[in-house]
Amino acid sequence: MNRFLIVISLVTFSFALTANAQTDGAKNRSNLQPTRFQRQHMTQTLEMHINLLTDSNPSIRAMAIQNIRDMEFAYPNESFSDLLTPLMKRIQDENESTQVRILSAMALDGLHSDKGDQAIEEISKTTSNQVIKEICTALLVKSQK
């Protein structure tokens, strides 16, 4: 089932990126409009990625978060607000792999939300993982500029 979700997710994402690349003015991402296919499947794609964030395999969780980061870049006008809570859970989990926590921090930073920024700030002060602490602190400095 997980492999099916991953394959469907990647195929959907691939179609979405291909459609964007073929749109007039593809060099200027801010002027792109989502295609009908993208609008129809964005909710489903996000739900699949939210489900993948709870998978028992940290590599699958990391892949899902990287896909989320790619979607944030490809679709800057989407709010992706449904992803805030699942990403915050990943970064706050002290038992989570460092890779997944770093990617979660970067994805939260990419969402440009006050709630996400607060979670990053909280983790920068409370985590026992020095790498996560430094990454979160760096993200806070970057976002204040």
Sequential pLDDT tens for the chain (145 residues)? 666 556 566 556 555 555 455 444 444 444 555 566 666 788 888 999 999 999 999 999 999 999 999 888 888 888 899 999 999 999 999 999 999 999 999 999 999 899 999 999 999 999 999 999 999 999 998 655 5
**Quick one: 100 exposed, middle or buried, by C-beta within 10 A (0-12, 13-18, 19+)?**
buried
Q: What is the fold, at CATH topology level, of the domain defined by 2-144?
A: 1.25.40
Local structure of residue 28 (DSSP, 8 states): -
13 token code pair: 């994402």
Among residues 64, 65, 58, 145, which one has the least CA distance to residue 110? 65
Residue spans per domain, the chain: 2-144
